[in-house]
């Protein structure tokens, strides 16, 4: 039943995004007067087809994409003298047709992401608690700036900061403006001022402070050591292996020390002190021993304007991260095990659908964004490849590449793309076994 649910969730999310992408191409082609011969959801072989007007609409068996077949886009039917032919259109018009599909996906992501914030996003509960610093990493920018464990942030710049949410929001505003930040702190009852260069928050390296988070289990994942031992959400961890626990980051520290040995854990549950015995589990992807708990979260909803701002900012951050990841992948600085294919995506969608509507909307926005970005890559079988290898040479030298060379480029591109899809799907299946 889980496999069926996963497949259905995958299709319910992916098929509309494929339709949106192909409709972008379809609409652009119609606007510039190119005849659309086929509009297919999925790749051949076909399941069913129906002709309306001059276009045949298809549903095909392989639901990993789709295509719009334009009159004149194939070598055998090019005719620069026919006004309805793709080959007869200007470079700008053909460029418009090619980018319209990815643009439709990017626009969808821009429209859906604000819904995530309006529906409500899970935010760590400590964001709404006093801005107390638990620890400072040795050698970090926070230590160099003069911050210390136990400090309480009371003001950022000229604005009061009561909670960590206030602190993060004010830091983000300062970072956007490019201004250095002055923190007013309370340290052992005395006022202290600290000046931090804004570059410290823009660096790839963590700033180096850890908020004080109460050692209370907010979520206990099903099937994990903590659940099997009887831990419940709301349990406050008092000690692990006899070591008193006062803050969240101590939990992981003590778990790693045991190297997978069974742990005696004492929790406070609604005033009752209970002993538990937990056997940590090693997770290869995390390179850590885990028991399956996470801090408390609260649902935070935002108004329409704030949601649009936050959604746009988040898409911008994800876009930059995506290009960074792609750059590292092509230079060999990223393991291919980190690349997910359709099976892994389907698993993520199924989990998101079972969590909340906001989580599902977030997944839709992220997949739509990735579809838009990936289709613009200069790979011959993709839209970006058509722009790079077919339109650019024509723009530079005033004539298209020879039909023979274009056919070879397209064949190589499709082959490489199919081999890559087979590889990542194989990796996905191995991860599930």
List residues bridging with 46 in a β-sheet. Answer: 60
CA distance 240 to 255: 8
Q: What angle do CA 16, 21, 24 make, to 5 degrees?
A: 125
* 262 contact partners, CB below 8 Å, separation of at least 6: 277, 278, 279
Q: Is 22 a catalytic residue?
A: yes
Cβ atoms of 41 and 60 within 8 Å: the answer is yes
Residue 84 has φ and ψ, to the nearest 5°, of: -90, 0
CA distance 97 to 63: 23
CA separation, residue 35 to residues 38, 68, 89, 275 (Å): 9, 10, 11, 73
CA distance 147 to 131: 13
Out of 22, 172, 214, 228, the active site residue is 22
Count the helices and strands in the chain (H runs, E runs): 13, 18
Active site residues: 22
């Amino acid at each position: 039943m889980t496999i069926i649910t996963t497949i259905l969730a995958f299709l319910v999310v992916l098929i509309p995004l494929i339709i949106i992408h192909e409709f972008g191409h379809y609409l652009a082609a119609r606007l510039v007067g190119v005849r659309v011969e086929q509009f297919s959801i999925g790749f051949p072989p076909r399941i069913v087809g129906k002709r309306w007007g001059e276009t045949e609409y298809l549903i095909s068996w392989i639901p990993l994409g789709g295509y719009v077949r334009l009159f004149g886009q194939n070598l055998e039917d090019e005719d620069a003298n026919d006004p309805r032919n793709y080959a007869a259109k200007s470079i700008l018009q053909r460029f418009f047709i090619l980018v319209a599909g990815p643009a439709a996906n990017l626009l969808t992501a821009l429209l859906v992401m604000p819904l995530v914030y309006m529906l409500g996003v899970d935010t760590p509960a400590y964001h709404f608690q006093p801005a107390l610093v638990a620890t400072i990493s040795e050698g970090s920018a926070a230590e160099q700036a003069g911050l210390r464990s136990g400090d309480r942030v009371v003001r950022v710049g000229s604005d009061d900061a009561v909670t960590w949410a206030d602190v993060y929001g004010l830091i983000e505003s300062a970072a956007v403006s490019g201004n250095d930040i002055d923190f007013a702190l309370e340290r052992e009852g005395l006022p202290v001022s600290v000046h931090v260069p804004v570059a410290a928050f823009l660096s790839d390296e963590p700033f180096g402070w850890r908020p004080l988070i109460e050692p209370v289990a907010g979520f206990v994942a099903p099937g994990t050591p903590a659940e099997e031992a009887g831990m419940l959400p709301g349990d406050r961890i008092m000690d692990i292996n006899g070591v008193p626990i006062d803050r969240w980051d101590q939990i992981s520290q003590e778990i790693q020390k045991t190297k997978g040995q069974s742990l005696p854990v004492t929790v406070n549950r609604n005033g009752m002190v209970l002993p538990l015995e937990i056997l940590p589990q090693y997770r290869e992807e995390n390179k850590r021993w885990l028991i399956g708990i996470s801090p408390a979260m609260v649902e935070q909803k935002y108004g329409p304007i704030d949601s649009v701002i936050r959604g746009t900012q988040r898409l911008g951050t994800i876009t930059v991260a995506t290009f960074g990841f792609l750059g590292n992948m092509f230079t060999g600085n990223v393991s291919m095990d980190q690349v997910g294919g359709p099976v892994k995506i389907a698993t993520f969608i199924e989990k998101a659908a079972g969590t909340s509507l906001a989580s599902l909307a977030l997944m839709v926005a992220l997949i739509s964004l990735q579809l838009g970005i990936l289709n613009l890559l200069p790979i011959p079988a993709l839209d970006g490849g058509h722009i790079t290898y077919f339109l650019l040479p024509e723009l530079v030298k005033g004539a298209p590449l020879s039909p023979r060379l274009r056919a070879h480029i397209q064949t190589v591109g499709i082959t490489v793309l199919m081999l890559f899809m087979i590889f990542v799907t194989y990796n996905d299946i191995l991860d599930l076994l």
